[in-house]
Amino acid sequence: MTDPIFTTVFTLDNEEATVSLANRVAASLRTHRDVVERQGFNIRLTGDLGAGKTAFTRALLRALGVSGRVRSPTFELVEDYDVLDGLPFHHFDFYRFESPVEFEDAGFRDLFGPGQLTVCEWSEKAHPYLPDADLELTLTIRGLSRDVTARAASALALTVIEETL
């Protein structure tokens, strides 16, 4: 990501707290849907296996109105959804990439940008092809709780963090 304009660290004491964080991020994105339509919004999730990247994304999708099954995209690389009545949402997991150039070959770049919401797990495996993130959440496991470092690299991401904390 480009240099963050704001960084903050907080703790999620249990899984409910992770769901609650996702609910607040979703509420903020709903409020600022017009900005997402103009600029797009890309969230990068980092952290070890089991840190809660998929759990967070599943809760975010639920809060954005997805009622069907939410599958981890580990094997498919990307799962596509429609959120907030018509916004495309792409959930990526690049864990299985053998080379970052697969990002280009698959045409994934077209799934980023104005009008699209994207959440990426294992972004580092698509570096340097993956577009910059607006918001990065780094999850660190501490038993059942998670330390989260949130970094905002765009004005909208800063607003989302402010409205979320």
Ligand X SMILES: Nc1ncnc2c1ncn2[C@@H]1O[C@H](COP(=O)(O)OP(=O)(O)O)[C@@H](O)[C@H]1O
**DSSP secondary structure letters along 31-68:** HTHHHHHHH-EEEEEE-STTSSHHHHHHHHHHHTT--S
CB of 39 to ligand X, least distance (A): 26
Report the C-alpha gap between 32 and 25 in whole angstroms: 11
Cis peptide before 131 (omega within 30 of 0): no
Report the C-alpha gap between 131 and 2 in whole angstroms: 10
Find the part of the chain contacting ligand X (CB under 6 A) among 45-53, 60-68, 130-138, 156-164.
45-53
Report the C-alpha gap between 145 and 12 in whole angstroms: 5
21 in Cβ contact with 12 (< 8 Å): yes
Measured from the CB atom, the residue of 44 and 53 that comes closer to Mg ion is 53
Q: 51-70 mask for ligand X (x: CB under 6 A)?
A: xxxxx---------------
Q: Taking CB under 5 A as the rule, does residue 146 contact Mg ion?
A: no
The footprint of Mg ion on residues 27-56 (CB under 5 A) is: 53-54
Report the C-alpha gap between 59 and 72 in whole angstroms: 12
At 122 the three-state DSSP class reads coil
CB of 37 to ligand X, least distance (A): 28
Amino acid at 3: D
The footprint of ligand X on residues 71-90 (CB under 6 A) is: none
Q: Taking CB under 6 A as the rule, does residue 15 contact ligand X?
A: yes
The footprint of ligand X on residues 94-153 (CB under 6 A) is: 121, 144-146
Q: Which option in ligand X, Mg ion, none does residue 119 bind, with CB closer than 5 to 8 A by kind? A: none
Q: Taking CB under 6 A as the rule, does residue 40 contact ligand X?
A: no
Residues in contact with ligand X by CB under 6 A are 12, 14-15, 17-18, 47, 49-55, 121, 144-146
Residues in contact with Mg ion by CB under 5 A are 53-54, 121
